Structure 1
Amino acid sequence: MASRRLQRISGEGARFLVVGALATLVSLVLFNVLVHGAGMGVGAMNSWPLPAFILANLVGMVVSYRGSRSWAFRHRTEVGPTGGRVGFLVVNLVSLVIPLTCLTISRYALGLDGALADNVAANVVGLGLGTVFRFWASRRYVFRRRPRRSRAGAAV
């Protein structure tokens, strides 16, 4: 029983990470173009890295929801009338606080404003911590397990 559960969680975790990697790539490219330019050194939102990070991650959330709903957690029950979209948005907005905090500390407390510092703070440290939270919260609140059926067919 425990090995089936571990197998199920590891399968979901692997699919979740693949979807997250794609969504992160979208967010990462968009953030860097907005803040650091497309190879030009300074982007249009260079002075506003936090709003740029939020914007880039909102686009990444759309990619992440589609991949999570249709692949990573396709076998799990949809939650609520919106199919889990509202819960997914809430979980992702709450988890966005983690990399934003890391980016804020790096930029404004430590005075680091280069592309490497921004990306390490937000997209390595913050993303790593946020991913663990999102996986747990997505399984717990957004994409729930289908109820088991007893022999009589009633949900247990």
Structure 2
Amino acid sequence: MSDLASLTLRMRDAIGGIWREAAAFGLVGALALLVDTGAYNLLVFGLPGVAGAPMRSTPVQASAIATGVAMIVSWAGNRYWTYRHRRHENVTRELALFVFVNIVGLVITAGTVALSRQLMGCECVLGDNAARLFGWAVATLFRFFTYRRVVFLAA
């Protein structure tokens, strides 16, 4: 087999592997996004048709709590499915790095809500969710590349 053919096969395998990993990461992230968004909306806006929401006056803190709950879902999905072939025996180190990376992601997501509310004065469902989705997208890119390079290292 020629060097070019060998290189082509290696590149195809690497690209195929990263696409499968990105798809699994995306599915875990989509589930975590549903948990995050649902929890946030329940905390800040309550159930539709029911008066009162427990954290209506503290949306940034509600965002942090919702993201924290979603982080637990993400940890389980990524550790035991997306990166099952890359996890190490040192769970404590891996979990500490995962939590640190997700705290950075949490700051990104909660920060977009704070900016939306404080700079733009937007205090509505659409504005909050648009700000959170933008923050979530930026945080997701950060997480994907950081999980691969720092948290779930190849064994």
TM-score (normalised: structure 1)? 0.88
Structure 1 range deviating more: 34-43 or 92-101: 34-43
In the TM superposition, what is the alpha-carbon distance from 1:9 to its structure 2 partner? 0.9
Number of paired residues? 145
Q: Equivalent residue for 1:98?
A: 108
Equivalent position SS for 1:38: coil
Q: Equivalent residue for 1:38?
A: 47
Q: Equivalent residue for 1:154?
A: none
Matched, 1:56 2:71: no
CA distance in 2, matches of 1:81, 1:29: 29
Identity %: 37
In the TM superposition, what is the alpha-carbon distance from 1:96 to its structure 2 partner? 1.5
CA 79–120 in structure 1, closer or farther in 2 if over 3 Å, else same: farther
Amino acid at match of 1:24: L
Contact kept? 2:44, 2:53, Cα under 8 Å: yes
Among candidates 116, 126, 138, match of residue 147 of structure 2:
138
Structure with the bigger percentage of helix: 2
Which runs of 5 or more structure 1 residues have no equivalent in the other structure? 147-156
CA distance in 2, matches of 1:25, 1:107: 22
In the TM superposition, what is the alpha-carbon distance from 1:101 to its structure 2 partner? 1.8
RMSD of aligned Cα (Å): 1.4
Which runs of 5 or more structure 2 residues have no equivalent in the other structure? 1-9
Q: Equivalent residue for 2:136?
A: 127
TM-score (normalised: structure 2)? 0.88
Q: Equivalent residue for 1:10?
A: 19
CA 46–106 in structure 1, closer or farther in 2 if over 3 Å, else same: same
In the TM superposition, what is the alpha-carbon distance from 1:83 to its structure 2 partner? 5.7
Q: Equivalent residue for 2:79?
A: 69
Amino acid at match of 1:110: M
Please list every run of at least 4 consecutive aligned residues from structure 1 whose deviation after the TM superposition is greater than 3 angstroms: none
